[in-house]
Structure 1
Amino acid sequence: MPRVLLIEDDRAVREGVALALRRQGHEVALAVTGEDGLILLRSFRPDVVVLDLMLPGMPGLDVCRAMRALDPTLPIVMVTARGDDEDIVVGLEVGADDYVVKPVQARVLQARLRAVLRRAAAPVGESGIPRIDTYGDLAIDRAGLAVTRQGSPVALAPSELRLLLTLSASPGQVFSRQQLLEAVWEHSYHGDARLVDACVRRLRVKMGEPPREPRYIHTVRGFGYRFAAW
């Protein structure tokens, strides 16, 4: 079973979540502070991180940035207090793949973890046929799950890669945010459009897209996003 690193300073939440995850067969490492979490990241080598944003010492957002810098592909699910909309948006901007709100429901968290782990293991259900698609100076290796621009590799988190693969598979087609939530995050009913918008912004930055006139991923106001037709 996947290994989970849980970083949470609230003892009751930490022990309750850890118990639920262990009952599901996960190996769980616990940290109370962000600093301890970063140490465990190197020694425990988790498959997924559950990160509380409100931590003593190093803030959760800074921990997320540091983890994303150390491992661009590591799935991170952040935990936030209900109603902290600004923190949710910023957390998604700095690299979290998904989030749950407190009080944490074990079944909701487990569903989120299964989804992010599936995305990390197989970002898109491809046919297995080796194929590299080229769009201008952007190359997408759909079999090897690798992206380069101007010959240089572009390091993408699983959700960013899935988003790019989904959009680029149908150039010119407009995808609504809900369609992208279902395709990329597997959120059928309770999806949050902020996941999509934050991921698009991160993806554009990593691809070196001009913020005002992106070449590849276009915003269709009032509808969603489309990949440029080539």
Structure 2
Amino acid sequence: MVKRVLVVDDEHNLREMISSYLQNEGYETVEAVNGNSAVQAIKNDQIDIVLLDIMMPEMDGYEALKEIRSIQKKLPVIMLTAKTDEIDKIVGLEMGADDYITKPFSLRELSARIKAVLRRATNEDSDVDEDEILEHGEIMINLSTYEVFVSGKRINLTPTEFKILATLAQKPGRVYSRLQLMNAAFGETYANYERSIDTHVSNLRRKVENDPHNPTYIHTMYGIGYRFGGEL
């Protein structure tokens, strides 16, 4: 499911830059120019996480955070600010912010913070243990619900494909033989059909790789088997 990010900042260029980057990362974005419009957006739209600047006209980030928490206690909020004093960071966190990032920041770092906060929120809401959620690059695997998402979009896998992907992704870099993957997917009953794993892997690549012929995640180790090589 695509996550919707509310970007709240009175600096037009920064707001547009953040929104554009996050859209390229697979998010939907909603923009607000101050705390008042942010609160209205939360009342009117389904928002999954808020990026909230502190220094804004009409209603600053601290006041907006109070209003947001009165509406949705668990909505994830990351504070954005040019302030560097430790006390400002502490105030934001004590008021209920989930994270805090100081300007100037890299958009890549911001994206990583968003993923981390959303992951924590998902785990808290679903009571899923942290080790039941695997994230590698654009792929997220929920081991308890048997769901796979690529760039926020749910991908339909067969049970065999899911088992193969989960087995590989749980230990990135480890090389699995075809027989080991067959045992993981089917058990020892199907050990004599280990070459059929190539077909399953080929189908899996078509679903999760941007370029199945030049894979980012599922790599062939010629003469041995396969390994998972996605970014952590």
Q: TM-score, normalised on structure 1?
A: 0.53
- 1:97-136 to 2 correspondence within 5 Å? 97-123=98-124, 125-126=128-129
Is 1:25 equivalent to 2:23 in the alignment? Answer: no
Answer whether contact 1:3 1:47 (CA < 8 A) is retained: yes
| Mapped partners of 1:47, 1:27: distance in 2 | 10
For these two proteins, the number of residue pairs brought into alignment is 129
Residue matched to 2:39 = 38
Give ranges in structure 1 of 5+ residues lacking alignment: 128-230
CA distance in 2, matches of 1:85, 1:39: 30
Number of the residue aligned with 2:10:
9
DSSP-derived class of the 2:74 partner: coil
TM-superposed deviation, 1:126? 3.3
Amino acid at match of 2:24: R
Q: Sequence identity of aligned pairs in percent? A: 39
Q: Quote how far apart the aligned CAs of 1:83 are.
A: 1.5
Deviation at 1:88, TM superposition (A): 1.1
In 2: Cα distance, 1:52 partner to 1:71 partner: 18
Q: TM-score, normalised by structure 2?
A: 0.53
Deviation at 1:44, TM superposition (A): 1.6
Alignment of 1:136-151 (within 5 A): none
The offset of 1:82, in angstroms, is 4.5
Alpha-carbon RMSD across the aligned residues, in angstroms, is: 2.0
Pair member with larger Rg: 2
The DSSP-based 3-state class of the residue aligned with 1:83 is: coil
1:80 touches 1:87 (CA, 8 Å); kept in 2? no
Give the aligned residue type for 2:38: G
Q: Measure the CA separation in 2 of the matches of 1:104 and 1:18.
A: 14
- In structure 1, the partner of 2:94 is 93
Secondary structure of 1:110 counterpart: helix
Residue aligned with 1:122, SS: helix
Structure 2 unpaired stretches of 5+: 131-232
Measured against aligned partners, the alpha-carbon deviations of 1:177-209 in whole angstroms (never above 9, x if no partner) come to xxxxxxxxxxxxxxxxxxxxxxxxxxxxxxxxx
1 or 2, which has the higher helix percentage? 2
Which digits, 9 at most, give the CA deviation of each residue in 1:141-174, with x for residues without a partner? xxxxxxxxxxxxxxxxxxxxxxxxxxxxxxxxxx
Q: What is the CA-CA distance between 1:37 and the residue it aligns to?
A: 0.5
Question: Is 1:51 matched with 2:52?
Answer: yes
